[in-house]
Amino acid sequence: MIHTASNDLFTRAKQSIPGGVNSPVRAFRSVGGHPLFMTRGEGAYMWDADGNKYIDYVGSWGPFILGHSHPKVVEAIQKQAVIATSFGTPTELEVELAEMVKGVMPSIDLIRMVSSGTEATMSAIRLARGYTGREKIIKFEGCYHGHGDSFLIKAGSGALTLGAPDSPGVTRGTAQDTLNARYNDIASVEMLLAMNPRQIAAIIVEPVAGNMGVVPAKDKFLQGLRKICDREGIVLIFDEVMTGFRVGIGGAQELYGIRPDLTTLGKIIGGGLPVGAFGGKREIMELLSPLGPVYQAGTLSGNPLAMAAGIATLRIVMEENPYPELEKKSAYLADAFAANLQQAEIAATQTRVGSMLCLFFTDRQVVDYESAVTSKTTKYASYFTSMLDSGVYLAPSQFEAMFVSAAHSQDDLDRTIEAQREAFNAMNQEN
């Protein structure tokens, strides 16, 4: 494929934007080459600046469960844009979306809208600290909760090491308040609690990890976290920015039957527009200003355009229930991928939860960050490039999810499977 226009745009972008991109993973650093600049999306497809068409499995990193530019979502945005794009005052749309989310997530008594997933997780942590009067939090190595300072902490040598800043600009004081445990490992959490008695305000976790590739929670892992939090008076936060309305109508908490104290949301609830939200138990949420002392605010929180897009998306999801069909499509892909791997004799491991999939180029079972990073990223780069050349757009990083949408047709799935078969053959020839 010819990418002249995208390459020219990237050259131009680097003169005005750091690295030429507004989010690092878009830069193609881990897969090589230059990022593609997209101009249009419709259904399961998007087109780049050179007119190349792709079957899209990124879906703007998760929001497009219905595909690009769903007519009813577009109509809702257009109608609202004519009325007003923002007021800086309350609107009925905020109330309607809040009621819709509450209606399918029983763990949420009250919810507050914000403008991004990062803002939601930052606010949830602050609220948990205000509620408990404690300062430290536990997160899990490999889980990503946005770019807030408290989350950009790496585990050091082992899960029980006090955090060290993972990015310049994050203070050591902030790092010392963030403890890292191993995903799917309750024992690592218990050891941190023993080392920091009555100091932990919150445990925040992706109930399905989606930012070290897709890593499902093991049986009883989430149940174990719930029991620990109940026993120790700790706020359990589910980061469902990615999984909310993706793995089921009630998110991962419905799938696994666990009620967190706080939930963070984003992506699908905004229908592709910038949005985030956090909600949970009334007694915790009522500590937020203006009712309580924990301050949180946002000029564009509850933006009418995002609310309109989110309402339209959730209304379709609730009325049409695409989840059984998404499960069928995703299982079809996963089964065919497994057959392709076996035929090509390529060492790789697949993971899947609902319509979230990932292929790791490792022969190890992937259950946490340590096992995820055994994947050979150079092989993924070859795989990505070959798929891209065949018109299939995957995440330009090994450690991201592949999203199936309601818009993907049987022909799209079969073309993807054939493209993968060709990619594996090409990779074997390279070796």
Annotated catalytic residue 267: yes
Domain ranges of the chain: 85-320
Active site residue 239: yes
**pLDDT tens-digit readout, 264-286:** 999 999 999 999 999 999 999 99
Q: Are 145 and 204 in contact (CB under 8 A)?
A: yes
CATH code for the domain defined by 85-320: 3.40.640.10
Please report which helix (H) or strand (E) contains residue 235, including its range.
Answer: strand 235-239
Q: Which pLDDT value is given to residue 158?
A: 33
pLDDT value for 165: 60
Catalytic residue among 267, 323, 383, 393: 267
Q: DSSP assignment, residue 221?
A: H
pLDDT at 150: 80
Residues of the chain with confidence (pLDDT) below 50: 155-163
Out of 56, 149, 177, 239, pick the active-site residue.
Answer: 239
- Rounded percentage of the chain residues whose pLDDT exceeds 90: 89
* Residue range 386-412, pLDDT digits in tens: 999 999 999 999 999 999 999 999 999
Catalytic residue flag (residue 328): no
**Ranges of H-type helices in 300-376:** 304-320, 323-344, 369-372
Which among 426, 419, 403 has a CA at the least distance from the CA of 57?
403
Catalytic residue among 144, 256, 323, 369: 144
pLDDT at residue number 219: 83
Query: What's the pLDDT at 46?
Result: 98
| Angle subtended by helix axes 410-430 and 323-344, to nearest 10 | 20
pLDDT attached to residue 166: 64
